[in-house]
Structure 1
């Protein structure tokens, strides 16, 4: 039986080259799989996390802030109405034509505030029940305070009785208008605190997004190194573009989130100040002015800005690019150097 020929030096070199090419091909294919998977996970995490902070800002702007401001303004208007009515009697001007205009205006403001609150309050069905009860009690309050300030101007006994009834309806613990609004305000403030704060899930989402983008960035650099050292290729423009988009996607949405979160923190602090000022009954006129001025400041800070929407759509477009660009760059090299040749 003839002896098998020993492999020559050239045969061994050819086998070594084939093994090297096979390892390089598998290495590039692993890079491709890692980059596509991390890109999909990172983009999803970025878009979901950024949308959450957008939704929080929108809820604060359209419901949270107006609800807290509305309760504070309504409480102050009711207290001011009672003070105006008492003042007209104590100063002896209750018989002057138009003397009741002050408390009537404040009662009208409180009634309008309750009507607006029914649309913006953020305590759900429980809040609607509180407002319905408060509206009924407020009607009874008006039927007590108005005769006391206008009808019984010459009957001190009836006047005191009507004012006592009105005061009881206004601030009786547990069942008065102001205590009920205090309960509603407490629920709303807890909701505002949850909405305006970055929760554990949101922080986890951003951590996953940034970590995934870091892995993607390192994978792009590694793929560029493999192409240059093992394949003899120059810097791939597709991977270079993917690098730039990855860096932008890691920085811009996060910056926008931090900027928006700063506005939410400021808004929460202003709402806390407004809610506390509504409980200071020493100078109701100054308290009302304080609430009005800070409400205007708050609306300006929470106003919708066009860059917030453009940032989301930019992140969506960038996410599509960091999925497609690395795949296009590596697949082009694999097809030209390995798949088609194989």
Structure 2
């Protein structure tokens, strides 16, 4: 009877060992599925958010900042041209006010375009509505001073003074209001171009989840080798490689995009400052146009970054499906069907 007792003990031991192996495999399966779902959801959302920020900066932020800067520069230059014609006593020459009128016309056109591209919402539209009215008042004072009263010095000074107050009166003038609009737009640009705490947390969660997934996949491979006699598993190995790919490539692409956003932000700050240089009109206007074009070109979506998103989507499907299929096949063959 001793041999029967030993056999029963060995049978119970093997049964208990098989039960523990099944529970471990099921635990690994649950951990792999949960970590894959969480990490891939957060990763895809975080990656898309940064790419959307680059797109918004290119299509809305850069044109809005350029529009406000160009409008303000043209308006300041128009006023400067009118003052120069008086200071150099050429205001009574035929056509002397043409440059002033050209710049004022450019400012009006820029203001019209700015109303379509500004990024300060309803508040910005309110500012532009007020600026439109003030610009009409400014023109009604400055234009007679440069055209009608060129022979009447006292009247010309009066008109120029009215125009100067309308243009630059602190808090209520055209230029201070445009400065406020530009400041609000730059605040929006700051938020769009910077990676906030929520985005950083998202990437931390995604990378941590992929690390846990990779370690769980390695643990599952070890378990299959030690307890199920399988030297390797064709389902878990590709999932492990996909997890490594997802932990590296999308993060690298995001860092590259963030660097371009930082560069674009610096250039837009320079554009904003250049708008207060009316004497250097030729260079300033060219500078603003060239830098804005450069910003938009640098922020243009690159093909490899778009493909990275779809590659991450495909990799997420792999790390979700392959481990589940592989472990479920082993559980079904060794335990579930037998049970």
Task: Report the TM range for the smaller structure's normalisation.
Answer: over 0.9
Q: TM-score, normalised by structure 2?
A: 0.95
Once residues 51 and 335 of structure 2 are traced to their aligned partners in structure 1, the CA distance between those partners, rounded to angstroms, is: 46
Question: In the alignment, is residue 231 of structure 1 matched against residue 228 of structure 2?
Answer: yes
RMSD: 1.7
Residue matched to 1:17: 14
How far is the alpha carbon of 1:282 from its aligned partner? 5.3
Name the SS of the counterpart of 2:235 in structure 1: helix
How far is the alpha carbon of 1:206 from its aligned partner? 0.4
Once residues 143 and 253 of structure 1 are traced to their aligned partners in structure 2, the CA distance between those partners, rounded to angstroms, is: 57
Q: Is the 1:36–1:323 contact (alpha carbons within 8 Å) kept by the matching residues of 2?
A: yes
1:279 to 276, 279, 288: 276
Name the SS of the counterpart of 1:235 in structure 2: coil
How far is the alpha carbon of 1:308 from its aligned partner? 2.7
Residue matched to 1:75: 72
How far is the alpha carbon of 1:95 from its aligned partner? 3.5
Offset from partner CA, 1:211-249 (integer Å, 9 cap, x none) = 000000001111111111110012111101101111111
Name the SS of the counterpart of 1:80 in structure 2: helix
1:156 to 149, 153, 156: 153
Aligned length: 339
Offset from partner CA, 1:163-193 (integer Å, 9 cap, x none) = 1111111111011100001111111111111
Residue matched to 2:182: 185
Q: TM-score, normalised by structure 1?
A: 0.95
Once residues 245 and 2 of structure 2 are traced to their aligned partners in structure 1, the CA distance between those partners, rounded to angstroms, is: 60
Residue matched to 2:34: 37
Residue matched to 2:242: 245
Once residues 282 and 83 of structure 1 are traced to their aligned partners in structure 2, the CA distance between those partners, rounded to angstroms, is: 7
2:60 to 63, 71, 74: 63
Name the SS of the counterpart of 2:228 in structure 1: coil
Residue matched to 1:114: 111
Offset from partner CA, 1:272-317 (integer Å, 9 cap, x none) = 1111222345534433332222222212211222233222222222
Once residues 114 and 63 of structure 1 are traced to their aligned partners in structure 2, the CA distance between those partners, rounded to angstroms, is: 16
Greater alpha carbon shift after TM alignment, 274-283 vs 296-305? 274-283
1:143 to 134, 140, 146: 140
Q: Is the 1:79–1:284 contact (alpha carbons within 8 Å) kept by the matching residues of 2?
A: no
Which blocks of at least 5 consecutive residues in structure 2 are unaligned?
none
Q: Is the 2:32–2:213 contact (alpha carbons within 8 Å) kept by the matching residues of 1?
A: yes
Residue matched to 1:264: 261
Once residues 62 and 306 of structure 2 are traced to their aligned partners in structure 1, the CA distance between those partners, rounded to angstroms, is: 21
How far is the alpha carbon of 1:117 from its aligned partner? 1.4
Q: Is the 2:85–2:91 contact (alpha carbons within 8 Å) kept by the matching residues of 1?
A: yes
Offset from partner CA, 1:41-80 (integer Å, 9 cap, x none) = 0001001111111221111111112111111111111010
